[in-house]
A and B are shown apart, each in its own frame.
Chain A
Amino acid sequence: MALIEIEKLSLSIGRVPILKSIDLTIGAGETMGLVGESGSGKSMTALTLMRLLPDAARATGRVTFDGIDILAAPEAAMCRLRGNDIGMVFQEPMTALNPVKTIGEQVAEGIRWHTGANRADAEASARRMLERVGLPEAKFPLTRYPHQLSGGQRQRVVIAIACALKPKLLVADEPTTALDVVLQKQILDLLRGLVAEDRMGLLLISHDLAVVTDMADRITVMRHGEVMEEGETAQTLSAQVHPYTRQLAEASMHVPARPNRHAAQAGGDNLLEVDAVVRDYPGRRRALFAPAEKFRAVDHVSFSMKPGQSVALVGRSGCGKSTLARMILALDRPTGGDIRFLGASLTSKSEAELKPYRRNMQVVFQDPYGSFNPRHKVERLVAEPLHLLDSQPSPAERREMVAEALHEVGLRAPDMDKYPHEFSGGQRQRISIARAIITRPKLVVADEPVSALDVSIRAQVLDLFAELNQKLGVAYLFITHDLTVARAITDEVMVMHDGRIVETGRTDAVLDDPQSEAARDLVAAAPDLKRAIRRRLHEQG
C-alpha cells in the first residue's frame, strides 16, 4: 500500500481555485519530485499533506496517509501526526527558526511533545540528531541560537527538527533554493542519506529540474494547479512526451544566441579597471575599549573589462562578490586600491563629480519587486536615472524615452501608466532592465538578475540580456552563484572565494576544466540536467 495517496484533490482559497483534481502517490521509502513554476500549486499540495493551509482554504477529494484520512482527521490527530510521522523542511532557513530559542530547545521540543521524554532524554536525542545532520557538539552546542549559524547550518537544524522522530514521510519544499550551489549539494546529500537510512518517503518540491532528477525516483510535473505528467524520473525527462515537460527541460538548459560574442574583446581601452581593491568591515568588539577586529570582505581584487564585454563574477554566498559590485557602482568606498571607470578614478570623487559616471553604469537587482517603490508608476520608476543626464528632458521627451526603453525590453508603451504590482515577476525584471538601460549606460551590473525567476521566464530574460548586449553594445558584469547563467551569457568568468579572485578565464574553459579548488567545488556542485538524466539512465542499465 502506498504511504500517501492523494486522489482528486481540489483546493480553493476564497473563490480562487488553487489545485484542480490532483492525483499523487508516494510509496514507503520512495522519493517523489514535484516540479513546476511558481504558482503551480506545489507548496499548497505540501501544506495540504500537513494540513497547515491558510484558514480560508477549502479542500475536497481524498488525502490518505498511512490509512488516515488527512482532510477529515481532527486537529488533535493532526498534531500527533505532524513532526512525528510527517516532517517538513521549508525554503527559507534564515526565518524558519525561532530567533529567541536555542537550537537545542527547538529540536528537543518536538521530541518531548511526541514521546513524553523528559528534558534530559529529549536533549540527548536532539544532540544525536544534530550530530547526524552534521552539526557536531564541539562547534554547535545545544545552547547556540539561530542567529549564530549560517543559512546552510540553519537548514541543517530545520532538517534535524523534521527528521528527529524518524518520520515515515518527509516533505521538503524548495529546501535548497535560498542556498548557494555548494551548500545545496551538501543539503541534498544529507537529505538523501537520511531518507535512505531511515527508509523515509520524501516529497521533494523544487522548480529546478536538475535537482529533482538527481534526487527523485519518480517525478510529478505541475502547472496552474494541475498535474501535467507523472512518471519515472529519467524516462519522463528523457522521453519528454508531454509538451510542458519538454518546455521546462528546454528552458532550464537554454543558451541565448549571441552571434558576435567575442567581437567586443578586440583591443581598445579598458571600460573598467579594478586595481588591488580592499574592503574591510569592522567586526565584533571583544571588549569595551578594545579596537574592533576587522573583517576583510574584499581582498586585493584586480581585473579589467573591455566595452561590450560580458563577464561573470561567480562565487559562494558571502564570498564578497556583492561588496565588490557595490564598490564598482560607487555605492561604497574601498578601504584600499583604486577603481577606474572610463579612464577616471571613482574612489575619491564626490557625489556631484560621480554624476556623469553614474549614468554610464546602471544596476539590475535580484528581487525586482523589492527594488521598486510600490507607490510609483512604471513611468517614474523607469525614468529615475534620467536625473543623471546633463540636460533634463521635457515631460513629453521623458515619456518618449521611457516608451522606447520599455519597447526595447519587450513591454508596451501604455505599460508606463501601471504600477509594479500589476506585472508578473518576469515583467518586473524587464522593467528594472528598462530602468537600467534608459541612460544608455556602457556597463550594467546585474546581481543575481534571474535567480528569483522561473525557468521559462529566466530563459526569456537571459535572451533579453543577450539581445541588448548585441544591440546596444552594453557590457555586463553578472554576479551569480548559478553557473548555468554564467555559461549562458558571459564570455569571461571570474571565480571569487573568501574575498579574492582565485581564477579567471574564458567561461567555457573555466567551467569545463576548473583549476582552483573553489572553482572545482562550484562546478562539481552545480546541478546539471543532462548529466543527471544520463546518470539515472546509466544506473538503471
Chain B
Amino acid sequence: MIPFLARRLLTGLATLLLASVVVFAVLEILPGDPALLMLGMNASPEALATLREQLGLNDPVMVRYVSWILGLLTGDFGRSFTYSSPVIDLIAERAVVSLPLAVISLLLSTAIAIPVGIFAAARRGKAADTLSMGAAQVGVAVPNFWFALILVYIFAVWLQLVPAGGFPGWKAGLWPGLKALILPSVALALPQAAILARVTRSAMLEVLGEDYIRTARAKGMPRRHVLWRHALRNAMIPVLTILGLQFAFLLAGTIIIENVFYLPGLGRLVFQAITQRDLIVVEGVVMLLVASVIFVNIVVDICYALVDPRLRSNA
C-alpha cells in the first residue's frame, strides 16, 4: 500500500507540473496586455513601461514561469489587477462557499443515487425499476438551472422556507449559511444523482450476473444478503469513477447555479476574471482546480484499492 501511495503521489505531482506548463503557456499565447488593461486605454507609454517593469512582464518567459511556480509553492498567487487584492485571498473567500456547496451536493446525490440504483437493480424489469429509471432519465435530461428555478419557486417564493438567493457569509452563523446553500446543492445534486443512479444500477446488474453471486446463493445466503454483502462492493468501481468526475465538476462547473442563486463562488470568480482579462486570477484558480482534480483522482484511486484487493499489489 505504501509504495502504491508513493507512486501515485509522484505521478500526481508530475501531472500537476505538466498542467502548470500548459496553463502558463496558454495564457502567454492569449492576446491582451495586462498592464494596458490595468491602466486603461489612455495610459501614457511611460506609465505602461514602468508598470510592465514592476510586474516583471519584461523578463524572459522562463524566469517568469519559475517565479510564478515558486510563488504558487509559497502560497503567493500574485495580485489581481481588477480587485487589487492578493489572488489567494480572493480564492479563499470564494472557496468557503464553493467547497461546502460541492461537498453537500455530492453527499446528497450519493445518498439518493446509490440506494435507488441498488433498488432498481434488485427489481430489474419490475414497476419499481421502470419508475425509478424513468425518473432518472428525466433527471439526466433536465438542466440543473431549471430545477433551481422550480425549487426557488416552491421553497423560497411559495413556502418561504429558505432564501431565494445570496449568501450571508459564515460570520452570520452556521445555520443561515447552510440555509442559503440548501436549494443550490439540491439543484446541483439532482442531475448528478440521476446519472449516478443509472451507473449504480447497471454496475449492480453486471455484478449480479457473476458466478460468485451464484456461489454465494449456493451457500444459502438470501437474495438481500447477497445483494449487500457480495454485489455492492464489487459494483463500486464504476460508481467511484463517476463520483470522482462529478466532484471535480462540482468544484468549478457550478457557475450557472451560482448565478441563479447569487452565490459568490469560484465559478463566478473565474468567469468574471476571464471576461476582464484578469489573467493572474484565472491562472491561480485554474491551477487550484487542476490540483484539486488530481487530488480527487488520487483519493478515488485509493478508494479503488480499498474496495478491490486486486488493485492493491499492481496498481
Contact = CB atoms under 8 A, between A and B. Distances in A.
B11 to A, nearest CB: 12
A81 interface: yes
B210 A95 contact: yes
Interface stretch (A96-104, A131-139, A213-221, A229-237): A96-104
B179 interface: no
Contact of B220 (A82, A90, A96): A82
B217 A97 contact: no
Contacts of A162: 218
Interface stretch (A108-116, A244-252, A266-274): A108-116
Contacts of B233: 100
B305 to A, nearest CB: 11
B310 A90 contact: no
Q: Tell me the interface secondary structure of chain B in the complex.
A: helix
Contact of A113 (B211, B214, B221): B221
Interface residues of A, number: 34
B31 to A, nearest CB: 45
Contacts of A82: 217-220
Contacts of A145: 309-310
Contact of A97 (B212, B221, B307): B212
A318 B218 CA distance: 30
B84 interface: no
Contacts of B223: 75
Contacts of B75: none
Nearest to B307: A100
Contacts of A110: 219-221
Given A82-B219, A98-B234, A288-B3, A52 B214 contact: yes
B234 A100 contact: yes
A194 B220 CA distance: 20
Contact of B216 (A81, A87, A98, A284): A98
A294 to B, nearest CB: 16
B222 interface: yes
A540 B234 CA distance: 51
Contacts of A109: 216, 219, 221, 229
A79 interface: yes
A110 B309 CA distance: 22
A147 B308 CA distance: 10
A128 B229 CA distance: 24
A288 B8 CA distance: 11
Nearest to B313: A284
A95 B209 CA distance: 11
Given A98-B234, A99-B308, A52 B212 contact: no
Contact of B215 (A81, A98, A114, A287): A98
Contact of A83 (B218, B234, B314): B218
B64 interface: no
A87 B215 CA distance: 10
Contacts of B221: 79, 83, 109-110, 113
Given A52-B218, A99-B212, A161-B215, A288 B230 contact: no
Contacts of B220: 79-84, 110, 113-114
Contacts of B234: 98-100
Contacts of B217: 52, 82
A376 to B, nearest CB: 26
Contact of B230 (A81, A90, A101, A113): A101
A275 interface: no
A236 B307 CA distance: 52
Interface in B220-259: 220-223, 225, 229-230, 233-234
Interface in A70-94: 75-76, 79-84, 87-88, 90, 92
B211 A90 contact: yes
Contacts of B210: 95
Contact of A147 (B219, B307, B310): B310
A325 interface: no
A82 B234 CA distance: 23
Interface string A48-69: 0010100000000000000000
Residue from B215, B222, B223, B225 having most chain A Cβ neighbours under 10 A: B215
A158 interface: yes
A75 B218 contact: no
Contacts of A287: 3
Contacts of B307: 100
A100 B215 contact: no
B7 A288 contact: yes
A461 B136 CA distance: 51
Contacts of A147: 309-310
Nearest to A81: B220
A88 B313 CA distance: 31
Contacts of A288: 3, 6-7
Given A287-B3, A288-B3, A99 B310 contact: yes
27 contacts: A50-B218, A80-B220, A82-B217, A82-B219, A82-B220, A88-B218, A90-B211, A90-B214, A90-B215, A95-B210, A95-B212, A96-B214, A97-B215, A98-B215, A98-B216, A98-B230, A100-B233, A101-B230, A110-B220, A113-B219, A113-B225, A114-B220, A145-B309, A145-B310, A147-B310, A284-B313, A288-B3
Given A110-B220, A113-B225, A287-B3, 9 more contacts: A83-B218, A87-B218, A97-B212, A99-B308, A109-B229, A113-B221, A114-B220, A161-B219, A288-B3
